[in-house]
Amino acid sequence: MTALIVIIFIKVLVVILAVLTGCAYSTWLERKLMARFQHRIGPNVAGPYGLLQPIADAIKLAFKEDIVPNNAERLTYALAPIVSFVPALLTYAVVPFGPTVSIMGHQVDMVISDMNVGVLFIFAVTSLGVYGIVLAGWSSGSKYSLLGGIRSSAQMISYEVAYGLSIMGVIVLAGTLSLKELVDQQANFFDWFIFRQPVGFALYVICAIAETNRAPFDLPEAESELVAGYHTEYSSLRFAMFFIGEYANMIAVSAVAATLFLGGWHGPLLPPIVWFLIKIFFFMSFYIWLRATLPRLRYDQLMNLGWKVLFPLALLNVMATAFIVRMLD
């Protein structure tokens, strides 16, 4: 029993450190790729190739003055960054990042918790992140921040339905809600669900970008209109938590996409964890490529795409998948 607790503790610690490190260096990756897309240099002063820039940024943010507006609702104002960050971190609890291995005579699953309802757990925790954004906008005592928070809640509701339905096709085919079992069913390359659910995969990618408030769906921020949106009144480490939360969500969405549609950690020659990281890196790079390519949508375009295009397509995809599965039984 003691050994089991120690193993779980070590897995939690490793995953948290890996996520925080990944978030820090995702900022470096984004700045480097954006620089290449825009014919600039990017970070190149702090360390070789600018690799120490995330550390310099963390130190700078830690020593900045933490300013709290006079009109802020102080308790909610302080809790909002935590509410925004923690759900992103909880997502990694059910994502398998490797096969079962033997360590000192103990069989260890490379997942913190193999829930038999892992997909539902992801739905639950990812839906909570928007509360941090809404509460931050409301508690700041600023109309600009409040407007950014309201936009975020409307956007989340509009895309959450299609987001859930985009995964339903995979669940119907697999017959399980366990992410570990879903990965096991994709052991062979042509068994990856991206080949059996191409429409669902495309819908997932679009909705996931909107769920994480990234360009071209970054309406909650909309710097040109809302003075940075919901986190206008935040500074120092409180602002950093929103920033880290955004990248933690991006990595989580990429990890879930790799798990559901791209075979998870399966792949030839290289170690399983390496394949898993390669697939996450692919999605993160795609995120950044979109930001450098596409302009921000207008709010009416955002709503129309969510309700009039993505939602009907996701519903039709689930119905068609269920019909085919029924016919083949």
pLDDT tens per residue across span 99-114: 888 777 777 788 888 8
- Domain annotation covers residue 124: yes
pLDDT of amino acid 157: 81
pLDDT at 154: 83
1 part of a folded domain: no
Specify if 87 maps to a domain.
yes
pTM for the predicted model, two decimal places:
0.91
- Domain assignment present for residue 186? The answer is yes
Domain encompassing residue 305: 70-328
The structural domain count of the chain equals 1
pLDDT score of 222 = 61
pLDDT per residue as tens, the chain (329 positions): 677 788 888 888 988 999 999 999 999 999 999 999 989 988 888 888 899 999 999 898 888 888 888 888 889 999 999 888 888 888 898 999 888 887 777 777 888 888 888 888 988 888 888 888 889 889 988 888 888 888 888 888 888 889 999 999 999 999 888 899 999 999 899 899 999 999 999 999 999 898 888 888 887 766 565 566 788 888 888 888 888 888 998 999 999 999 999 998 998 888 989 999 999 999 999 989 998 898 888 888 888 998 999 999 999 999 999 999 988 87
Question: Can you give the pLDDT at residue 35?
Answer: 93
Within a domain: 65: no
Query: Is residue 9 domain-resident?
Result: no
- Is residue 126 included in any domain, yes or no? yes
Rg (CA), the chain: 20
Query: Looking at the DSSP assignment, which residues form a beta bridge with residue 119?
Result: none
Report yes or no on 4 lying in a domain: no
